[in-house]
Amino acid sequence: MKALLRGAITLVVLAAGWQALVSVTGLPRYLLPGPLAVADAMVRQAPLLWTHGLTTLAEIVIGLVAGVALGAVSALTLARFRTARRWLMPLLLVSQAIPVFALAPLLVLWLGYGMLSKIAMAVLVIYFPVTTALFDGLRRTDPGWLDLARTMGASPAAILWTIRLPAALPAFWSGVRVAAAVAPIGAVIGEWVGSSSGLGYLMLHANARMQIDLLFAAVLVLGLFAVALYAAVDALARWALPWQPDTQPTDDAVP
């Protein structure tokens, strides 16, 4: 409750500062609209923001689910099979050296103006952090556990499923948190390159027509999505790992 109050105060102060800046400098509305103007645009254009927001949200969520699934399968394959590690690791690293955003026009060309190209974009952005996070986790199993499992006559597959994978889950969820934070970027970039719907499309459209208050409103909605998504993933991670202690002290020591 206190944290909520603190957040609200921070928001109010920031908004007040923003409004003061606009009022004092008298910047024209098409350069920097005040928070009141943005709030007004948000209310007026709510149906528009809602339809476009829904498109983007669907792209983000589907991309996140698909990207996380693909990353998890890749990491498990890499951890389980030596041959896969030898052949796919360099490929994985090189694939990351190519800026994903440079591929956006190609994806639109191949997959069309619809949601598919944006989902693919989000998947590409998410795939690498999830794969590396889980793979790192899988490589760092306590050697004592592995010794114990070997003396119990466990097969490599049994060790992977029973010990290495559960032990790697905290690392995996860190990767998913990063993925949740970057997924909206992938979807919006995809929309900028070519689309007929979505918040990215709405931003370009509003920008071209000097409806900067609408642009700000769209950015705000996108920000709300990102925060909500992160909070949801964080809650899910805590629920999935009840055994993982949170050792971060609640308050830093006062010097």
149 lies in the binding site for another protein (CB under 8 A): yes
255 lies in the binding site for another protein (CB under 8 A): no
Selected from 152, 208, 253, 254, the binder of another protein by CB under 8 A is 152
**Interface stretch with another protein, choices 17-25, 83-91, 209-217, 242-250 (CB under 8 A):** 242-250
Q: Per CB under 8 A, which of residues 164..183 are in contact with another protein?
A: 166-167, 169
Selected from 8, 9, 142, 209, the binder of another protein by CB under 8 A is 142
**Interface stretch with another protein, choices 16-24, 26-34, 147-155, 247-255 (CB under 8 A):** 147-155
Q: How far apart are CA 150 and CA 96, in angstroms?
A: 36
247 lies in the binding site for another protein (CB under 8 A): no
163 lies in the binding site for another protein (CB under 8 A): yes
Q: Which residues contact 207 (CB under 8 A, 6 or more apart)?
A: 215
147 lies in the binding site for another protein (CB under 8 A): yes
249 lies in the binding site for another protein (CB under 8 A): no
Q: Which residues contact 156 (CB under 8 A, 6 or more apart)?
A: 80
**Interface stretch with another protein, choices 86-94, 151-159, 171-179, 222-230 (CB under 8 A):** 151-159
154 lies in the binding site for another protein (CB under 8 A): yes
**Interface stretch with another protein, choices 21-29, 92-100, 154-162, 196-204 (CB under 8 A):** 154-162
Please give the residue ranges that form the binding site for another protein (CB under 8 A). 142, 144-145, 147-155, 158-159, 162-163, 166-167, 169, 241, 243-245
